[in-house]
A and B are shown apart, each in its own frame.
Chain A
C-alpha cells in the first residue's frame, strides 16, 4: 500500500528538505493519503485509541517518575506524597493507574476484533505476531508497574508471579534468586522492576512502530474480510475520513476513561494495596490485576505447578500460532456461520475464566476453571483447525464496494433497518 503519496512539496525549503529526507512525504502517505477500506466499523478505531493510551501512559509515567523513589522503605510514602502534596499528583497517578486498565480494555477489544474478522490471516501473520509481542510486553510492564507502590498486593503479587519461575526444572530456583536479587522479593527487586518498567514502554513503542509499518505495508483488513480490489472504489483516504472517525471514537473512549479517573478511581484496584508491603503478613486472597485474571485462572486450574505455568504461558503463546491454526481461507466471521458461534462461545469462556480467576481456588470454582481451561485450548487446537475444513462459508460479495452497496440497497428497500 506504499507509493500512494500524492505529496508535492510546496516552496523551496520544503523541496530542499524532501529531496534529502522524505519525512513529510512519509507522514503524508501514511496518515493522509493512505487508503482505508470504506467499510471499516468503529472496532477499527481501537488501533488509534491504543496509540493514544501508550502516549498517555508514557507521559503520565514520566511525570510520576519525577516524584517517585524506588526504595522499599519509602516507596509507599512517596506514592502518597504524589497523591497529597504534588500539584495534581492525584490526577496524574489516577490517570496512570486507571490508564493501564483502559489500555488493556482497548487491547482486548482490538484482539477480539482481529479474531472475529480474521485479521491474522495471510498476508497479516507478521502483523499479528508483532501484536502478540506487544501484548506480552504490555503484561510485563503492567505487572512491574503494579509492584512500584509497594503495597501488600504489589509485594505478594510479585512474590507469586516471580515464584512461577521456580517451577522450571533444575534451574528454576536459581532463576528466581536472580530475578529477586536476593532471597525474597525486596528492595533490589523493586529497583530493577522500576528500571524495567521505565524501559519496556519504549520497547513497546518500537514494536508498535513495526506493527504500524507492517499494517501500512499490507493494508487494513475490513469487516467483510475481502481484499481491496480497486483503490478508487473500495477505499477512502485516511484523512479526513479515518482521522475524524478515530478522533471521535477516541474522545468517547476518553469519556469512559474519565468516568474511572474522576469518579471511581479505586474501583479497578485492590484495597489491600493501600496497606504498606509487609513480608510477615500474607493477604487473605492474593489477586492479580483484572486483566491477568483469565491467565491466573488457567494457572490455578492445573494441579501441577510446572503444568500450570506451562498452561498459562501456553495460553498466550498459542495466540502467535493462530494464523496457522485457523485453516479457513475466509477471513471475516460475517461469512462463517459456524465460526461466528464458536467465536462467541470463546469470548464467554474467556470472560468466565476472568471471573473464576478472581474467585478463591476451591470447590466448584476449580471444576469450572478446569472445564473452561480445557475449552480454551480446544478452541485453538481442535475447533479452529477442524472448522476450516468442514465449514461451508456463505456467499461473499465480489468487492468491498459491492458489499457496501448491497447493504445500502437493503437499507433503502427496508426503511428503518440498521445500516
Chain B
C-alpha cells in the first residue's frame, strides 16, 4: 500500500514537472503514419521503395548525397528488388571519376555496381555555396538521425508497441510541413517556413509538388504520396537489413519461447520435492 502511494506520488511529481517542458518545445509533433516496415512482421514494400528511389533520384539527389549507398544495394535482398542487370543500367547512366590511369591522369567512366551514389557536390563548401550557405545532409542514415521528442509516458509505451519510426514520420511530416507562415512571423531571407522543422525556418525550399515525378504503377502523384515513398526509401537506405532483422527476430523468438518452456518444466521437476 505504502509502496503504491510512493510510486503514485512520484509519478504525479514527474507529470507536474514534465508539463511545462512539452509546452516549451513549441514544434508540432509529427503524425504517426502507417508503414509497411513497422511492427514485428514489417517488411519493405518493393513498389514503394522503387517509387521512393525515383523521387530521390529525380528530386533529392540534385542536392543531397548518399555516400554509403552503392549501386549494388539496388539489387540486394530486402531492397527495392531491382535485378542485377537493372542496377547495372542505373549505375552506367552516371559518370564517375576513376584513376589515376597509366598516364597518371584521372578519367571519367560509366558507373559500376561497386561505385557509391555520386555526390552532387565535390565537397561541403561547394554544397554550401550552391545552397545559400546551408549544407544538405547526407541521406545514407538520415532516417535514423532524425527524431522528435515523445516525452513521458509515450516513450515507455513505444518500447512495447515497437515504435521505431520517429525518423520517417518526421521526414514525411517535414516534407508536408511547408505552409504559409502564421501572421506576425517574419521568415529570414533565404529560409522557408515549415511547421515541423525545429525553429520553423528551414533552408530547403519546398522540394515536392503534385505531379512532379511520374509514377508508372498508378500510385497517386501527390506530395503526400511522394513524401511517403521517399521516406520509406530513406528508411531502407538507413537500415538496409531491416527485413532480415525482423525475420530472424521472429525465428529467434520461436526458439527462445520453446527453449524457455522446456527449461521451466525441467526446473519444476528438479525442484519438485524441495521446499523453497
Residues of A within 8 A of B (CB): 38-40, 77, 80, 83-84, 90-91, 94, 236, 240-241, 244-245, 247-248, 251-252, 254-255, 258, 261-267, 271-272, 274-275, 284, 341, 344-345, 348, 351-352, 355-356, 359-360, 363-365, 368, 404-405, 408
Rounded to whole angstroms, the CA-CA distance of A240 and B269 in the bound complex is: 11
Interface residue B106 (Cβ < 8 Å from any Cβ of A) = no
In the complex, the answer to whether A248 meets B20 with C-beta atoms within 8 Å is no
In the complex, the answer to whether B260 meets A241 with C-beta atoms within 8 Å is no
Q: Is the interface of B mostly helix, strand, loop or mixed?
A: helix
CB contact between B253 and one of A252, A258, A408 (< 8 Å): that residue: A258
Complex A-B: 30 CB contacts under 8 Å: A80-B140, A83-B241, A84-B241, A241-B271, A244-B263, A251-B259, A255-B257, A262-B246, A262-B252, A262-B253, A263-B162, A263-B164, A264-B159, A264-B163, A267-B159, A271-B145, A271-B166, A271-B167, A274-B142, A274-B145, A344-B2, A344-B6, A348-B7, A352-B13, A352-B14, A356-B17, A359-B21, A368-B13, A404-B276, A405-B275
* A84, A241, A404: most-surrounded residue (chain B CB, <10 A): A84
In the complex, the answer to whether B241 meets A348 with C-beta atoms within 8 Å is no
Tell me which residues across on chain A come within 8 A of B73, comparing CB atoms.
Answer: 84
In the complex, the answer to whether B267 meets A245 with C-beta atoms within 8 Å is yes
CB contact between A360 and one of B21, B163, B239, B274 (< 8 Å): that residue: B21
Name the distance in Å between A417's Cβ and chain B's nearest Cβ: 14
Rounded to whole angstroms, the CA-CA distance of A48 and B200 in the bound complex is: 51
In the complex, the answer to whether B141 meets A80 with C-beta atoms within 8 Å is yes
In the complex, the answer to whether A345 meets B6 with C-beta atoms within 8 Å is yes
Interface residue B40 (Cβ < 8 Å from any Cβ of A) = yes
Q: Give how many A-B residue pairs fall within 8 Å (CB-CB).
A: 128
Residues of B within 8 A of A (CB): 2-3, 6-7, 10, 13-14, 16-18, 20-21, 40, 67-68, 73, 137, 140-142, 144-147, 152, 158-159, 162-164, 166-167, 198, 238-241, 245-246, 248-250, 252-253, 256-257, 259-260, 263-264, 266-267, 270-271, 274-276
In the complex, the answer to whether B146 meets A90 with C-beta atoms within 8 Å is no
In the complex, the answer to whether A266 meets B20 with C-beta atoms within 8 Å is no
In the complex, the answer to whether A255 meets B159 with C-beta atoms within 8 Å is no
Rounded to whole angstroms, the CA-CA distance of A38 and B271 in the bound complex is: 10
In the complex, the answer to whether A355 meets B152 with C-beta atoms within 8 Å is yes
In the complex, the answer to whether A241 meets B270 with C-beta atoms within 8 Å is yes
In the complex, the answer to whether A271 meets B144 with C-beta atoms within 8 Å is yes
Q: Which residue of A lies closest to B144 (CB)?
A: A274
Tell me which residues across on chain B come within 8 A of A271, comparing CB atoms.
Answer: 144-147, 166-167
In the complex, the answer to whether A247 meets B263 with C-beta atoms within 8 Å is yes
Rounded to whole angstroms, the CA-CA distance of A248 and B258 in the bound complex is: 11
Tell me which residues across on chain B come within 8 A of A40, comparing CB atoms.
Answer: 276
Name the distance in Å between B49's Cβ and chain A's nearest Cβ: 16
Rounded to whole angstroms, the CA-CA distance of A261 and B244 in the bound complex is: 12
Tell me which residues across on chain A come within 8 A of B14, comparing CB atoms.
Answer: 352, 355
The verdict on A248 contacting B264 (CB below 8 Å), with A284-B198, A355-B14, A364-B16 known, is: yes
The verdict on A244 contacting B249 (CB below 8 Å), with A84-B68, A267-B159 known, is: no
In the complex, the answer to whether B275 meets A91 with C-beta atoms within 8 Å is no
In the complex, the answer to whether A341 meets B2 with C-beta atoms within 8 Å is yes
The verdict on A252 contacting B260 (CB below 8 Å), with A271-B144, A368-B13 known, is: yes
Tell me which residues across on chain A come within 8 A of B164, comparing CB atoms.
Answer: 263-267
Tell me which residues across on chain B come within 8 A of A359, comparing CB atoms.
Answer: 17-18, 21
Q: Which residue of B lies closest to A247 (CB)?
A: B263
Tell me which residues across on chain B come within 8 A of A94, comparing CB atoms.
Answer: 245
Q: Which residue of A lies closest to B7 (CB)?
A: A348
Tell me which residues across on chain A come within 8 A of B260, comparing CB atoms.
Answer: 248, 251-252, 255
In the complex, the answer to whether B267 meets A248 with C-beta atoms within 8 Å is yes
Tell me which residues across on chain A come within 8 A of B238, comparing CB atoms.
Answer: 274
